Structure formats: C-alpha cells, structure tokens
C-alpha cells in the first residue's frame, strides 16, 4: 500500500506548506533548538521559584468542607506540601453561571494521584457558601476536596483565580508561591496540546501566518449550547457541564456578568 504521495501536493489555503519528510525533519530540528532553550529557561525559572522567600500564616484558621469547619492545616492531609486552586464564585448562581475559566482549570485537576504519590496534596478553595459549593461539586462530579474559605483573608482566602503552593512544618504553615492569569495554564493540559496544533487555540491574538483563520476572542469555546455550538449566550454552559446528568439548556446564566 502506498503511504505517501509521489510528489508534494499543492498547499491548501490556510495550511502549512507541503514538503517531503526530509525537509520537514530539518525544519523540525531547527525548531527543537528553540524548544530546548525554552525548556532550559523554564528550569531556571523553576529554580528561582524554589528560592523565593515564604510567608507564615495561621494554619489553624478554619475553612468549611464536607465535614464542617476544619483548620486549614487539614488540607495538607498529613503531607508537607500542598497545591491549591482558588476557584472564583458567584453567590447564588446556578452551575451554568459559575466561572468558565475556573471551570476549565478545575476540570483538568480532577485527579491528584500523581501529586499524592510525590507527597503533595491538592485542594480547591472558593469564597462561596459551603451549601452552594457542595451542590455545585456534586453536580460537576468533582472528587478532589473542596473547601469554602469565605471570610478568610489572604493567603488562605482573598482574590480567587489563583494557583498557590503551601508548605507545612509541623503545625506551622507557609505560602511559598502564587500565580494567576496565564500562570494557571500549567494546570490546563488542553492548552499545551492546542499549542501543538497547526491552528493553535483559534484565538485572534495568536501570531499566525498570512491566510490562516483569523481566530476569535480568547476562551471562545469554553461555553457551548445544547447542540455543541460555541456561544457565550444565555443558553450556554461551560462545556464539561453537558456531560453531567440532568444538564439542560438554560434561559439565563444566573448572574449579572455574562462573561469573565
């Protein structure tokens, strides 16, 4: 069976140029040099991150989980390191009205077995009232621990939409690192995979060759309607919700802000 064409074909519009395997391999190896430099710089940044100072705080401060109020130290689950995702919350909003960006991050962090095997615990915290949070996590099918940090100040509570790292030394607790915005992409494997594809994330800000699809607004595909069409309209939901039992089209997001 013939597996390759006899000669390179004409390049379709909006697609990479068609070349033979040897030409592709040469271009790939040239890019690999840049990728290796990027990896090495990332290693250097991680080394600097490990050398950041840390902030001690009261680890006995209470947060609320499925067993009621517990000290923040319980989130370590007996381990010395802890990664926390701080999930934004809209009081009183139904599941479709909760934060789309936080949904995509939390959905990618549904299983922490490899963190646990390395001796690192993981939890999600949010400012929502526990009764609402419990209902939301049950609907979403989340199995990782969630806690309400309502009325807690930083570094336990405070602004949401962050990834944070904590260290425990006996009964002492410390904040060691925190990041937000695109810094949270490290938890979102889909972003990295999309960056490998020819058309990337399909967003207008990306640097694309001439003739490429223009792309849309950032995060445009994070909400869809019942037919799977990307939309930020009132009948849409964050995309993982359509796999949940009982998910139906809706008439409103259930919150005042229809976007991020």
Quick: pLDDT tens for 229-259. 999 888 899 999 999 998 998 888 888 654 4
Q: For residue 145, what are its two tokens?
A: 């621990």
Q: In what order do the strands lie in the sheet with 81-87?
A: 55-57, 172-180, 162-169, 81-87, 120-126, 146-148, 62-65, 68-71
With contact defined as beta carbons under 8 Å apart, do 92 and 254 qualify?
yes
Is residue 203 within 8 Å of residue 220, measured between CB atoms? yes
Q: What average pLDDT score do residues 66-87 get?
A: 98
Computed over every residue of the chain, the mean pLDDT equals 93
Residue 62 pLDDT > 90? yes
Grade residue 1 by pLDDT with cuts at 50, 70 and 90: very low
Mean pLDDT of the 51-80 span: 98
53 forms bridges with which residues in the sheet?
none
CA distance 97 to 108: 19
Compute the half-sphere exposure of residue 224: CA atoms within 13 Å on the CB side of its CA. Answer: 12
How far apart (Å, rounded) are the C-alpha atoms in residues 16 and 25? 14
Q: What is the pLDDT of residue 10?
A: 73
CA angle 184, 109, 120 (to 5 degrees): 90
Residue 96: strand, helix, or coil: helix
Residues 63, 61: Cα–Cα separation, whole Å: 7
pLDDT, position 260: 42
pLDDT for position 14: 80
Distance CA 188, CA 2 (A): 39
Residue pLDDT, tens place only, 104-130: 999 999 999 999 999 999 999 999 999
Residue 43's SS3 state is helix
In order of their start, the domains of the chain are 52-186 (3.40.30.10)
Task: Please report, in angstroms and rounded to a whole number, the separation of the first and last CA atoms in the chain.
Answer: 51
Asked whether the predicted pLDDT for residue 30 surpasses 60, the reply is yes
* Three-state secondary structure string covering 188-228: CHHHHHHHHCCCCCCECCCCCCCCCCCCECCCCCCEECCCC
pLDDT of residue 256: 61
The confidence band for 174, taking pLDDT boundaries of 50, 70 and 90, is: very high
158 by Cβ neighbours in 10 Å (0-12 / 13-18 / 19+) ranks as: middle
Give the percent of the chain with pLDDT over 90: 87
3-state secondary structure of 85: strand
pTM of the model as a whole:
0.91
């Amino acid at each position: 069976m013939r597996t390759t064409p006899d000669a390179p074909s004409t390049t379709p519009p909006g697609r990479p140029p068609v070349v033979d395997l040897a030409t592709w391999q040469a271009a790939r190896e040239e890019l690999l040099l840049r990728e290796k430099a990027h990896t090495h710089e990332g290693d250097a940044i991680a080394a600097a991150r490990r050398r950041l100072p840390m902030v001690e705080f009261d680890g006995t401060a209470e947060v609320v989980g499925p067993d009621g109020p517990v000290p923040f130290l319980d989130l370590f689950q007996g381990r010395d390191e802890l990664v926390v995702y701080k999930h934004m919350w809209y009081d009183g909003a139904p599941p479709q009205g909760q934060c789309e960006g936080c949904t995509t991050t939390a959905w990618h962090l549904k299983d922490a077995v490899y963190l646990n095997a390395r001796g690192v615990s993981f939890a999600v915290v949010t400012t929502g009232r526990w009764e609402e949070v419990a209902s939301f996590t049950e609907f979403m099918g989340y199995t990782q621990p969630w806690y309400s940090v309502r009325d807690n100040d930083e570094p336990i509570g405070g602004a949401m939409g962050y990834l944070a790292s904590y260290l425990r030394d006996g009964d002492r607790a410390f904040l060691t690192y925190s990041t937000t915005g695109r810094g949270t992409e490290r938890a979102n494997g889909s972003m990295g995979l999309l960056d490998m594809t020819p058309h990337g994330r399909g967003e207008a800000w990306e640097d694309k060759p001439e003739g490429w699809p223009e792309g849309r607004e950032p995060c445009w595909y994070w909400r869809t309607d019942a037919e799977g069409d990307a939309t930020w309209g009132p009948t849409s939901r964050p995309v993982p919700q359509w796999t949940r039992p009982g998910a139906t089209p809706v008439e409103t997001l259930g919150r005042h802000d229809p976007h991020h």
